[in-house]
A and B are shown apart, each in its own frame.
Chain A
């Protein structure tokens, strides 16, 4: 996204910062081929609420082929593309369980959230590069 657009998105978001925004996140298999179905599997969902600058995540997952090892919110360069982990979530270290976390977002991260660049990813023993993932996307557009 161009810097100007980022600035405008941030400015817009600053004005609406006191509003509450809810994201319903579908957690589905991270990129895999047919053979990887044996170790990259499962499903889940998360509800993400933004109140002011505070982001609250609660979710559940099931059906992993091995125990979850970590869960994070990642920051992508663009929607649909992998990016680095930026916020660590609490996660059940099992094949089914919950995720949760509360974070304070910077203005820049708020703008990136608004642009759809944040996603949740759960890793597991058998899928350390991503077992489930799901994108935080606004549905009111």
Chain B
């Protein structure tokens, strides 16, 4: 089945710097700028005046928009692996170095698609603009690559960060006090077997099914679905991919940046709100977790907190990692298993001694109980798979999706992202497997020891993560873990042993020439593993996947996997990445294009039979789906897209039975719950979904207008 492009299109850019969401903050931003300018001016008094000219900065503004903004973002805060060029992170890396070094480095490495391709004047101008955005003041001396001025002597925290700092005036902790009346602590037994009315964790259950057993809303009455209530979430810069939970009539939802709210699930009334410190760093908060009397949440700067679920008060706070060499992020959200809070980490691409890990923390106290590093160090098991690289240069292995848990086996299952830099030629790992990247890990929850691993793409080399949801399914007497990664390949493994069972390609792919039917071992296309720095490599699907964070739903009665897919390709340019401690880079340039044979349909939702893995139905549309697929016992699949549409599909046929349009992109993790016998469907909207939006903006001929404001939770129910 093929659907046409939905929705209206305008000529406005999708991620315009002057979008609605930013406009409403202009007044406050100006006030902040005026306050900060004094401090910045004071800072300049001690510095050499005028490290660049006003004309250079003006020219650099235009050059930046043309060559840099696509990766580093209009506000210089960086997206898709490109580091921020403003604020504390920028100054931490470059503050002690000279302006000349920055010009030289930029000239050698940027823009990724054409490193060294700009003129000397253009590199100087871009650098001048970067410094200006970091509160440096222009003067009469032109900036050149010979400048020996230390960056920290002329630059300071820029207005954007100053605005965030000003927002720090907003009280942290419990900002709206309230109490969930008669809150009943949720037990381990309830987490193992949730009440049909509840949705107590991301993807609802330990098996990550995304399936609700509620059937009041069904194929026969879906046309009577109407809005019950809507609650606006905090509209702030940051990626918004929330995974709300519902327990005992209360909806718990996270907002960027690091805000948790409890809402009355029947009325949408706010019960309590807690704001947790942490930067706006374009990393979303996806999941949170409930256990006993606490709610667990990980922040964008990889702090893990326990809140009192009834009041939102902070009970304990732990920091993931020692932070000696910089920061980490956490976007996945925790899962509670066997009394432990399990949490993975992100932003692992920095060359540093400390590696990313999956950590277990005591649910009652926050004490760290164990950690499993996702990058194998030299001398440890798997440590000989990194081509002899010193440990400090073994990077990547992010765990940016919440894991799953099998209580009977007491095993937790996590996906691990790719090694960094993305491409072998850049990261210098040769043909090494680079364990434990691009793998499924089964970890003993009691000890933190690795029970088994299955590496889906040894030595992965084109940014095709296999990090996403691990769905635990028992079928025909076997225990399976099912997953799908960016290559768009469904993997079925025996979750007791890690043995490969089966796979299926869901879309055209040209990355692997074959996959061994006995072992699941893929064979890369020859020119992919033979790539060299400076030569473009084309891959389908591309960096957005295939499949990405919008999780599949497993419709249990029909034994169907309903999977959001994206049909786009990329060509990648491996860069020469120096082995320099502290360096943070993915080390590749990219361009995007439509998947051949997709007829320009970037979005696709398809259902596959669990047993045969054969496609049952498929629905295509111009814009990508941006939410997980919520399946229900009512025979429905709910899913939203970038163009603000929320649709309900018939899980049996793939027919669209109902649709509506919401305020902005429908993204995050829709859920269903019930209160006093009435079923609700809660759907988040928000902005800044990451890879999909980023690559779509390069492909679509008519850019979508996706409002940057409009983060909200829409809740639907049948008319009363």
Contacts and interface: CB of A to CB of B under 8 A. Distances in A.
Interface of A: 26, 28-38, 41-43, 63, 77-82, 116, 119, 133, 135, 137
A35 B70 contact: yes
Nearest to B569: A80
Given A29-B593, A29-B701, A80 B510 contact: yes
Contact of A137 (B597, B600, B698): B597
B561 interface: no
A36 B591 contact: yes
Contact of A80 (B66, B540, B591): B540
B593 A26 contact: no
Nearest to A38: B66
A33 B596 contact: no
Interface string B690-710: 000000011101000000000
A80 B113 CA distance: 19
Contacts of B451: none
Nearest to A139: B597
Contact of B66 (A26, A35, A77): A35
B658 interface: no
B508 A80 contact: yes
Contacts of A37: 698
A40 B697 CA distance: 13
B697 A116 contact: no
Closest 7 CB pairs of A and B: A31-B591, A34-B70, A135-B596, A80-B540, A81-B538, A31-B593, A31-B571
Given A35-B70, A79-B510, 19 more contacts: A26-B594, A26-B599, A29-B593, A31-B538, A31-B569, A33-B70, A33-B698, A35-B67, A36-B113, A36-B591, A37-B698, A38-B66, A42-B701, A78-B525, A80-B540, A80-B569, A82-B571, A135-B596, A137-B596
Given A77-B527, A78-B525, A80-B540, A32 B599 contact: no
Contacts of A80: 508, 510, 538-540, 569, 595-596
B593 A32 contact: yes
Contacts of B570: 31
Nearest to B570: A31
Contacts of A119: 596
Contacts of A31: 538, 569-571, 591-593
Nearest to B13: A34
A26 B601 CA distance: 12
A41 B569 CA distance: 17
Contacts of B510: 78-81
Interface of B: 66-67, 69-70, 111, 113, 508, 510, 525, 527, 536, 538-540, 569-571, 589-597, 599-600, 697-699, 701
Which of A33, A42, A133, A137 is packed against the most chain B CB atoms within 10 Å? Answer: A33
A41 B698 contact: no
Contact of A32 (B536, B540, B600, B698): B698
A33 B592 contact: yes
Contact of B594 (A28, A36, A116): A28
Contacts of A32: 591-593, 698
A35 B69 contact: yes
Contact of A79 (B527, B596, B698): B596
A78 B525 CA distance: 10
A74 to B, nearest CB: 12
Contact of B699 (A29, A35, A81): A29
A122 B697 CA distance: 22
A77 B526 CA distance: 11
A78 B524 CA distance: 13
B698 A34 contact: yes
A78 B594 CA distance: 15
Contact of B596 (A30, A38, A41, A116): A116
Contacts of A133: 593
Contacts of A35: 66-67, 69-70, 111
A113 to B, nearest CB: 14
B15 to A, nearest CB: 8
Which of B536, B539, B569, B597 is packed against the most chain A CB atoms within 10 Å? Answer: B597
Which of B527, B570, B596, B701 is packed against the most chain A CB atoms within 10 Å? Answer: B596
A82 B591 CA distance: 13
